[in-house]
Structure formats: C-alpha cells, structure tokens
C-alpha cells in the first residue's frame, strides 16, 4: 500500500506540548500513588493496573532513549510485533507496585523533555535538531515523537483512570497536541484489507479545533492537514476527546454517535461509520 502524509514535522515543539507531557505524567502518577492493589483488571484489556503502569514506565523510558538518539529496536510496527515486544518487556521487568511505577513514569517523562532540549518554563520550546529517531512506528521527527509520547500516555492514562474509577486526563487541549502524531501515523496504520478497492475523500473536523483530509484511492491513503481543497464525499464532525478515544480503540464509534459526539454529512454520508474501521489503533 502506498501511503503519504503531507506535514511539516520539523521545527520546535508546538507551544504547550512539553507542559502537556509533564502534566499528563503527573496526572497518571497521581492516579497511581497510594493504590494498594495493582492487580485490578483494566476494562477491555488483558492487563492489570500494575501491568499497564509498568508498560507506561517502560515506554516513557524507551521514548526518552529515542529522544536522546539511542537506538531501541521494538517490534516492526505491526500490531502483532508490538504486542509481542510489550509482553517480553513486561516479562523482563517485574515491578508492579504503584508508587515506584508512578515515580518512574514522571522521571522518564522529564528525562525525555531534557533530551528534547525543553525547558521548565510554561510553553517553552527547545532544540529538535538531529536525525529523526526510529520509533516502533517508523522514523518520526522529534516534534512528532513528543506528540507520540503524549498520545501514548493519554491512551493508557485513560485506561488506568477507568480501572480505578477516577476522572481521566484527556481534554480538548491535549488532544490538539496529539494531532501531529495522529496525522503522521494514520497512513502507516491503515488496514490494507479494509482500504483495498475503496476510493473516497473524507474531511474530518474536530469541534472547536482543526480539520484534515483523508483521501483513499484503491488502497492508497493520503492525509492532508487543514481543510481539503475540493469537495469531500463525507465530512465527519467529532468531539475532540471522542475522536482520540475512537482512534485509540477506547470508545465504540456507535456509542459516540448515540451521544451526539459524531455528526456526518456529504454526498456519501454512509461512509462515516466505515472510517474508523480503515485503521488499526496505534
């Protein structure tokens, strides 16, 4: 499958991204601290709270190493290889206590930001020179890598909040900072079986936020930031939080539609329910 994304992913970190990474790590740590039993299952997952937290701690360490320019092979980008790499890392890393994992999650987020050259000032940006790190999902320039880290923490942070019966930390502002990664990765996680033979033009609009286009031509996927030029077959308007949770496989699209979080129109509005099935959650 040929897949492209048009995006300028070089340059400094978007304003607020460093603070969002730090804040999300601290929010996750606050969920975990003092939890006496991390054997609680995570809904919709095979993992317990302790395993999900351990995975987050290890992933933050992995991202920090990548930001520092250290090579860390971790699967080949396919869901099967990533699942196998996750399972192996959890087998080799035995910590499941809440407080040590909370500390590791926040410490490795700080190590990542230090490696990115970010300062501690609110909204500050740092240097992002150097070759694009090779991540589990392929090479990503550093601003996109930082967006990837935030997205990953938000997905698993949502899981932990759900498991522990606490409010989650996914909000409109943080979703906006996830978009550089989401737009970069969508063509790479397209399901070739689902996109085969499909020709369609989508416009995706996040309520109160940005828009982007997704064009499919017999399996070829192209993602274009901004409102696409020309007429789309289907325009989908989504609540930003619902968009991210659907994209990460945390929210059933039909449930979001029932809640009024998704509205579609255009010449072929029936394409809307098909859109989430075209991609595998990163």
Supply the DSSP string of 101-146, one letter for each residue. HHHHHHHHHHHHHHHHT--SSTT------SPPPEETTEE--HHHHH
Structure tokens at 189: 């996680």
Cα(37)–Cα(32) distance, rounded to whole angstroms? 10
Cα(23)–Cα(17) distance, rounded to whole angstroms? 10
3-state helix, strand, coil in the chain (%, to 5): 50, 15, 40
pLDDT in tens, the chain (282 residues): 334 433 333 446 789 999 999 999 999 999 999 999 999 999 999 999 999 999 999 999 999 999 998 888 887 777 888 889 999 999 999 999 999 999 999 999 999 999 988 433 333 344 445 677 888 888 899 999 999 999 999 999 999 999 999 999 999 999 999 999 999 999 999 999 999 999 999 999 999 989 999 999 988 899 999 988 889 999 999 999 999 999 999 999 999 999 999 999 999 999 999 999 999 987
For the chain, list the domains and their CATH numbers.
3-185 (1.20.120.450), 190-278 (3.30.1050.10)
Q: Are strands 3-5 and 220-225 parallel, antiparallel or unpaired?
A: parallel
DSSP per-residue string spanning 162-230: HHHT------HHHHHHHHHHHHHHGGGGB-HHHHTT-EEEEEEEETTS-EEEEEEETTEEEEEESSPSS
Residue matched to tokens 């959890």:
90
Give the global pTM: 0.90
- For residue 97, the tally of other CB atoms under 10 A from its CB is 15
DSSP per-residue string spanning 22-38: HHHHHHHHHHHTT-S-T
């Amino acid at each position: 499958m040929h897949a492209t994304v048009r995006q300028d992913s070089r340059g400094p970190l978007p304003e607020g991204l460093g603070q969002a990474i730090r804040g999300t790590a601290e929010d996750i740590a606050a969920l975990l601290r003092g939890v006496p039993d991390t054997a609680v299952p995570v809904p919709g997952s095979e993992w317990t709270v302790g395993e999900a937290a351990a995975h987050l701690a290890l992933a933050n360490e992995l991202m920090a190493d990548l930001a520092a320019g250290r090579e860390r092979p971790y699967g080949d980008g396919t869901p099967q290889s990533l699942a196998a790499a996750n399972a192996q890392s959890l087998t080799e890393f035995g910590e499941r206590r809440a407080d040590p994992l909370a500390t590791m999650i926040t410490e490795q987020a700080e190590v990542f930001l230090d490696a990115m050259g970010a300062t501690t000032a609110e909204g500050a940006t740092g240097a992002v020179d150097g070759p694009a790190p090779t991540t589990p999902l392929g090479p990503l320039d550093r601003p996109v890598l930082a967006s990837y880290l935030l997205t990953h923490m938000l997905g698993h942070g949502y899981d932990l909040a759900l498991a522990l019966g606490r409010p989650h930390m996914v909000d409109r502002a943080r979703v906006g900072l996830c978009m550089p990664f989401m737009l970069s990765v969508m063509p790479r996680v397209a399901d070739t079986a689902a996109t085969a033979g499909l020709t369609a033009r989508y416009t995706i609009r996040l309520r109160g936020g940005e828009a982007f286009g997704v064009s499919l031509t017999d399996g070829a996927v192209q993602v274009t930031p901004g409102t696409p030029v020309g007429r789309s077959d289907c325009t989908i308007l989504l609540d930003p939080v619902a968009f991210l949770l659907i994209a990460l496989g945390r929210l059933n699209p039909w449930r979001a539609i029932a809640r009024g979080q998704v509205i579609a129109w255009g010449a072929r509005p029936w394409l809307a329910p098909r859109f989430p099935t075209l991609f595998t959650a990163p």
